[in-house]
Amino acid sequence: IALALFMMFEFVVFPVWDSLQEKRATLPIQEKKLEKYREVARTAGLRSAEVASAETRLREAEGGLLASKTAALASAELQELMKQLTSAESIEVRSSEFLPAKPLSTEFAQVPLGIKFQCRLDQFVNLLKAIAGGPKSLAVPRLLIQPIGGREKLVGVNMQIAGIMRLER
């Protein structure tokens, strides 16, 4: 009987007792984990609202990209957009120059367009405002303004305007 009791304590009771002691020792760590998980669960609604807001901002930003799928079509789209903006300000474009697209990353490329024109200073300022407030996200990486003079305050403008397009995958 003593030998059976010894074997039962040695192989059943003491191992169970030791495992319970180990679990009791890790109890504060498990309580901290549980509190962190509860905190994450409480902020899940806030996080989903943040994700929805970020997705909305992303869609708005992507709305400013050029819609064309190739660089040549994007250049033509940019030229047409500039033709609309300049004609709205009664500016006659003297020349347009298609420039090669520059990759910005694996997903996006910058499509530049060089244009030259003459206009009054107030027309040029209004054109820049129209470019900044337009539906497409455009940048002016290069700008050269030369005063022509006269009472009309004419300026000769040589500028490069660039839009961003999504590359085909």
Do residues 89 and 119 make contact, with C-beta atoms less than 8 angstroms apart?
Answer: yes
Q: What is the pLDDT of residues 52-78, one digit of tens each?
A: 899 999 888 888 888 888 888 999 999
- Other beta carbons within 10 angstroms of residue 6's beta carbon come to 10
pLDDT band, residue 169 (cuts 50/70/90): low
pLDDT in tens, 98-155: 999 999 888 899 999 999 999 988 899 999 999 998 888 899 999 999 998 778 788 9
pTM over 0.85? The answer is no
Beta-carbon count within 10 A of 160 CB:
16
CA 88 to CA 114: how far, in whole Å? Answer: 19
